[in-house]
Structure 1
Amino acid sequence: MTPSEKHNKTNFIVNKKLCNFIAEKFLRKFYDKEGNEISQNKYAAMCGLSSSTISKIKTEEGYDLPISTIYNICRQENYSLKKLFSEFEQTYGKNFPI
């Protein structure tokens, strides 16, 4: 495997785990600021995202998640990027072996 192929495989693993982590943390049930359960469509709109983006994140295989999408979800959840990535790192570690 070439170094480029190794990086691509590692990136795929990181994206998959990050999507799964975010989905588990924020995207199983959706709530508005008052704590009322809402639809995925309404939640997506509140985040400034499409409902299909939320659906992609929730798939087991995940997708190539832009930082802006992560930021929009964190902003909606009143959650800092620092805290999210710190928890992600505590859960999965710093290195992803191939």
Structure 2
Amino acid sequence: MYQKNLVQFLKNKFCSPYKVGGKQVTRNVYAEKCDVARATLTRITNGDGYDVPISTIYKLCTFEDITVKDFFTEFSKWLKSREDV
């Protein structure tokens, strides 16, 4: 269940919609800019409980200019809010 929640959080945070410089872009453009394979972004977008490598999370965070620590802090808060429902 943890993996599925992580994928959902990644999808909401980075892939829904894809944005570069505040402008909506295609998955292909986003993949190229953040150096993450398009197929990986597809797995995240499909939300199939994909086992996301930490290297992918690192690349997304680096591209989006947030620390991995802040990402996981935000994820923990998001996960807690879902448990409270």
Task: Report the TM range for the smaller structure's normalisation.
Answer: 0.7 to 0.9
| Structure 1 Cα separation of the partners of residues 46 and 72 of structure 2 | 20
Q: Paired residue for 2:5, among 10, 17, 38?
A: 17
Cross-structure match for 2:27:
40
- Give 5+ residue unaligned stretches, structure 2: 81-85
TM-score by length of 2: 0.84
Q: Distance in 2 between matches of 1:36 and 1:25?
A: 15
CA displacement 1:14-36 (0-9 Å, x = unmatched): 21111100111110112223x22
Provide runs of 4+ in structure 1 moved above 4 Å.
Answer: none
Q: CA deviation at 1:50?
A: 1.3
Q: Distance in 2 between matches of 1:59 and 1:30?
A: 14
Gaps of 5+ in 1: 1-12, 94-98
Matched positions, count: 81
RMSD: 1.6
Tell which structure's C-alpha radius of gyration is larger.
Answer: 1
CA distance in 2, matches of 1:87, 1:32: 21
